[in-house]
């Protein structure tokens, strides 16, 4: 089974005039251009086919939040480049999922990289929390000129507490014992 054959199968299944697909088989790279909805459907189809045909050479990790992605990428891409180099894999980030897909020719490298990413995610989860709050409670949480939220941050040992008023989410970061 080769990638070009799989891509053709997926394209046949998801015929859409609004999507252009280009395969670079030398670099194992697929470029999909078109409308977001159509691109998303085709991308999902490709991922499903890869998982089916290359189960040992493909690892997928569902992420708890898109907020964990910077921890996986690292400063200036250092973490993701190191993972790809150390394990000889390609890491694909799907922000809509959100999920991480790892693939490569060496099943052991793929699995080990997947385990390392899971460790990064677990560490992030122990140091971050997202709490949905009622919109009416946000002003009370913040307090006058931010006094209440700074006091909560100081007493808890959290390194930061941010309030996203648009989604009514309180994001807390810090050592595991502060979360």
DSSP 19-31: EEEEEETTTTEEE
Output the pLDDT for position 30: 72
71, burial (CB in 10 Å: exposed 0-12, middle 13-18, buried 19+): middle
Q: Which of 159, 63, 173 is nearest to 127 (CA)?
A: 173
pTM, full prediction: 0.67
Query: What are the angstrom distances between the C-alpha of 33 and each of 15, 16, 87, 91, 154?
Result: 14, 11, 29, 20, 48
Q: Given this model, what pLDDT does residue 1 score?
A: 47
How many CB atoms neighbour CB 101 within 10 A? Answer: 21
| pLDDT mean for each 10 residues of the chain (179 residues) | 65 72 68 79 75 73 92 97 94 89 88 96 94 92 93 92 90 89
CA atoms within 13 A of residue 127's CA, in its CB half-sphere: 13
């Amino acid at each position: 089974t080769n990638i070009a054959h799989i891509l053709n199968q997926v394209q046949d299944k998801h015929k859409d005039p609004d999507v252009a697909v280009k395969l670079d088989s030398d670099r194992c790279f697929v470029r999909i251009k078109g409308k977001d909805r159509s691109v998303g459907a085709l991308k999902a189809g490709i991922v499903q086919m890869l998982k089916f045909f290359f189960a040992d050479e493909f690892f997928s990790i569902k992420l708890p939040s898109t907020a964990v992605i910077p921890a996986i990428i690292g400063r200036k891409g250092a973490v993701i480049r190191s993972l790809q180099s150390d394990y000889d894999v390609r890491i694909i980030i799907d922000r809509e999922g959100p999920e991480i897909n790892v693939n490569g020719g060496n099943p052991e490298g793929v699995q080990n990289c997947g385990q390392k990413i899971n460790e990064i995610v677990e560490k992030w989860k122990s140091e971050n929390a997202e709490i949905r709050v009622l919109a009416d409670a946000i002003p009370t949480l913040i307090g006058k000129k931010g006094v209440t939220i700074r006091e909560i941050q100081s007493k808890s040992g959290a390194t930061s507490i941010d309030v996203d008023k648009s989604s009514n989410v309180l994001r807390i970061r810090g050592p595991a014992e502060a979360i």
